[in-house]
Amino acid sequence: MSETIIRIEHLCKTFGTGDGKVEALTDISLDIRKGEIFGIIGLSGAGKSTLVRCINLLERPTSGTVTFDGQELTGLKEKDLRAARHKMSMIFQGFNLLMQRTALENICFPLELNGLRGEKNWREKRAKELLDIVGLPDKADAYPVQLSGGQKQRIAIARALADNPQVLLCDEATSALDPTTTQSILDLLKKINREMGVTVVVITHEMRVVEQICDRVAILDHGVIQEQGDVSEIFTDPKTEAGKRLVMPGGEKIHVLPANRLVRLAFNGATSGEPIIATLAAQQGICLNIISADTRTIGDKSFGTMVLGLPQDETEAARALIYLREIPGVTAEEVTDLVQ
Ligand SMILES: Nc1ncnc2c1ncn2[C@@H]1O[C@H](COP(=O)(O)OP(=O)(O)O)[C@@H](O)[C@H]1O
Ligand SMILES: [Mg+2]
């Protein structure tokens, strides 16, 4: 069994006081091992971002301890904490690049800040190595506005790696990206983990992200860790209600509609989800229920999947299926595997 790099013990975090008091995290205990990819999954508002900010103490826990590589961070003064923080870096959903700086200058930025001034030439050499690692050797002089979402996240990853961190904390790092780009960023995180030995903590609401790259996972629900363990175990046999809700999306609601046939729509970004249902209702008089949706809309395009309940009436159901199958950019298939 490998060594623990981050140990969280009985951590609580409360915001505000009195009536405005929010208990964001309750009695969190977790061990993250050196060299693994650890996932923390939960719905929006579960406390994921708060937890990740408590790990590097951007947020002071109300109680409990965080120990990093044998050093109790919660016991450190701000000055000593700064040094420890350099060993962990973070990437975000919104990339957080400096818009006035080129890709290369963005990557150099933490090296300047951290007092690793050295020679400007040295910093630039390091930044170029990192551009190679993230697969964008020709984007040194590009400004963020000239880059796609996936490219911006690659630059943010390069910047996060500049100072050789031991841990990379990823807060919804792929949540603003389409499925193909998500896949390529996940592959990159995996490569960084395997080849550079960086421990990766992945915070997400997307189960397929955890499924694809994490070794172990913790399920966070309303500020409480409901269960944790190997991804293969938790995802095939969740023990808690919160685990089941996350791992078998739609499973709950489907029990309410046992008689309905279901269709799963996969969106590849060519079209948008909601109007399809509205159009079917308005033009064909056919009402479909949204059973579950894991789609993301960017502009007027949707990505991801949606499960719809077909009408009870067989003729209407058949008409709906024909209509859905003809929409460009949408794959529609009937599903039976979601029903118990
Ligand atoms: N700075 C803050 N002040 C008050 N409440 C906060 C603050 N940050 C987070 N919260 C609350 O803590 C809970 C968890 O939020 P967050 O950690 O952002 O969840 P997640 O990242 O899982 O969506 C939410 O109820 C949120 O409103
Ligand atoms: Mg969050």
State residue 127 phi and psi, 5-degree precision.
Answer: -60, -35
Distance 5 CA to ligand 1 centre (A): 25
Dump pLDDT digits (tens) for 88-113.
Answer: 999 999 999 999 999 999 999 988 87
Residues 210 and 323 in one domain: no
Name residues contacting ligand 1 (CB within 6 A).
15-16, 22, 24, 42, 44-50
Distance CA 295, CA 306 (A): 7
First to last CA, the chain: 37
Distance 24 CA to ligand 1 centre (A): 6
Percentage of the chain beyond pLDDT 90 is 57
Q: Please name which of 246, 305, 225 lies closest in space to residue 43, comparing C-alpha atoms.
A: 246
Distance CA 332, CA 340 (A): 21
**Cα-only R_g, the chain:** 23
Dump pLDDT digits (tens) for 266-297.
Answer: 887 777 666 777 788 777 778 887 777 777 77
pTM: 0.75
In ligand 1, which atom is closest to the CA atom of 43?
A: 22
Residues 231 and 283 in one domain: no
Atom 6 in ligand 1: which residue has the minimum CA distance? Answer: 15
Q: Please name which of 178, 181, 234, 172 lies closest in space to residue 206, comparing C-alpha atoms.
A: 172
Show which of 199, 217, 245 is a domain's final residue. Answer: 245
- Decide if 196 contacts 129 (C-beta within 8 A): no
In this structure, the number of other CB atoms found within 10 A of the CB of residue 25 comes to: 28
- Indicate the number of domains in the chain: 2
pLDDT of residue 306: 83
Distance 286 CA to ligand 2 centre (A): 37
Determine, yes or no, domain membership for 340: no
Residues 53 and 198 in one domain: yes
Residue 18 or 31, more confident: 31
Residues 300 and 164 in one domain: no
Residue 83: pLDDT over 60 = yes
In this structure, the number of other CB atoms found within 10 A of the CB of residue 15 comes to: 13
- Decide if 307 contacts 291 (C-beta within 8 A): yes
Amino acid identity of 98? L
Position of tokens 């060594």? Answer: 3
The CATH number given to whatever domain includes residue 322 is 3.30.70.260
Residues 228 and 303 in one domain: no
Determine, yes or no, domain membership for 32: yes
Distance 21 CA to ligand 1 centre (A): 11
